[in-house]
Amino acid sequence: MFTEEKILSLTLEQKVGLVLLPTLRPNASKRFIEEFFAGVEPGGVFLFQGTSAEYRQTIETITNLFGRKMLFATDLESGAGRMIIDKGSLPVQMALGAAGDKELVYRAASVTARDAMDVGINWNFSPVADVAYNLANPIVSTRSFCKTEDVVAEMVVAAVKGMQEHGMLATAKHFPGDGVDDRDQHLVLTENNFSYEQWLVKSGYPFIKAIEAGVSTIMIGHLAAPQLEAHFGSKEQRLPSSVSPTIITKLLRETLGFTGLVITDALDMRGVLSVMERDTAMIAAFNAGADMLLFAQPKRDSKLFINAVNDGLITENRLNEAVERVVRLYKHSDELVANKKDISPSWSTAETVSRDITKKSVRVCRGKHFEPLNFAKGKKVLSMQFRSEQVYNANHFNSLLIKSGATVLSYTEKDARELLMHNNLEEFDAVILSFIFTPHWGINQIRPAGVYLRPLLHFLNKQLPNVIGISFGSPTIENDLGNFPTFINAFSPDTVTQERVYELLDTGR
């Protein structure tokens, strides 16, 4: 590990490596990994989606390659299964917000930490501390706990404690707060335009509480905050926070007193690259106060930073400051592991916690007194799902309908005109329309849109009493479309949520 003697003896190349956080797919071969790092020893590694076996093998390969413990990070906002595909998933953060129980948030975070650490992940880029002020925002939406800052703050604190008390580093993101406008940082520079006084009690409040709770790290977003810049005397109007000395150093460090590690969001996002080219952004983010750079490229960026130090673009003091924070994070990780609590046997699995969440979060928001459908042999159901992306779907819900013995006709948005071709829709016991619109990078869609809306709206105008709408994602669908005799907000497309919705429709409870 990093002893005082070893820290003092670090070369420039080693110091530069420690501020880089590159990404890998867990199915990478040993040869690829060795060639990818090319002798550069990074501060940590972010792993994309894969199986537990792939995670363990890759982590072992990298650890053996560098001969020391490493920081291994990933995005587990909704359980370990979000990235480690054979682990348990959880409902999204907004489902937890709808459940309104911070103890459930703590339990969810605890189980996530346990399941992720089982394969070697010790750093979670979660919780999302953004407030969902604008539910039309295509990248925050259900990733946020809710649209009320004090509730978000309370649940962010519970998530941080749940993770860190069970051995895992937590990250509050995306400072100084996304979710205000209706755009995606992956595609364009977005904006938080609250004044400083507003920000302290709005977007800033969950981050302030996360800092008070001892959150290990904070991730900086690629969004402009012109009024915050102005408050500290800066004239910048379109500077991404990820490269802003005002936001990172003056606001986060000096004003809020955050002493932990600051990491950028991914540095391949248009929120920053639409403003400046990549190499400039890397150096600007580091000089602004970011200690680690996400989506770094080991060989290329090591050379970039070594040259920047030698050319005076980065000072040795700034590099040493960042390296010290990286080293402190390693020590902090060791302390969390040494002092971690055991998981309570009464909620030892992600499935157990998910069921407790969905009992409180899944709700009938229109047609509260609908008759239970009692799915069984002889029942006729038409089930159509509308998706923003095929990977997020209601296939499990459909499989439960089929398993019940009911006769099920199943369609997707691609078959929307089929709705109009059925002149005998009244003969179905239920016409179920499932909407799966969840925030996902780069698709810019959080509500139904496209030519399939025309036949859908024609169908809804028939105002048939046997129509049931379900949102396994954005809570705004009913407001976007209306005309549903019965509508259920479920918030999340995970399998346990789909099972809870089926149970509710089947039994009425």
Tens-digit pLDDT profile for residues 14-54: 999 999 999 999 999 999 999 999 999 999 999 999 999 99
Distance CA 203, CA 120 (A): 33
**CATH architecture under which domain 362-507 falls:** 3-Layer(aba) Sandwich (3.40)
**Residue labelled with tokens 């709808």:** 98
Mean pLDDT for 442-455 is 92
Q: Is the pLDDT of residue 381 over 90?
A: yes
**CATH architecture under which domain 4-347 falls:** Alpha-Beta Barrel (3.20)
Q: For residue range 170-214, what is the model confidence (pLDDT) as tens digits?
A: 999 999 999 999 999 999 999 999 999 999 999 999 999 999 999
Task: Give the residue numbers annotated as catalytic, written as ranges.
Answer: 265
In a 3-state reduction of DSSP, which class is residue 113?
helix
CA angle 440, 286, 299 (to 5 degrees): 80
CA angle 300, 306, 312 (to 5 degrees): 130
Q: For residue range 279-300, what is the model confidence (pLDDT) as tens digits?
A: 999 999 999 999 999 999 999 9
Q: For residue range 479-502, what is the model confidence (pLDDT) as tens digits?
A: 899 879 999 999 999 999 999 999
Instruction: Please give the pLDDT value at position 373.
Output: 92
Helix crossing, 495-507 with 395-403: angle to 10°? 40
Instruction: Please give the pLDDT value at position 423.
Output: 76
Instruction: Please give the pLDDT value at position 5.
Output: 60
- Spell out the residues 6+ positions from residue 91 whose beta carbon is closer than 8 angstroms to its own: 78, 354, 357, 358, 361, 491, 492, 494, 496, 497
CA angle 226, 231, 233 (to 5 degrees): 95
Domain residue spans of the chain:
4-347, 362-507
**Tally: H helices and E strands in the chain:** 21, 17
Q: For residue range 56-75, what is the model confidence (pLDDT) as tens digits?
A: 999 999 999 999 999 999 99
CA angle 129, 133, 139 (to 5 degrees): 65
Mean pLDDT for 331-348 is 89
Mean pLDDT for all residues in the chain: 95
Instruction: Please give the pLDDT value at position 422.
Output: 79
Across 52-56, 239-243, 444-448, least confident range: 444-448
Mean pLDDT for 311-340 is 97
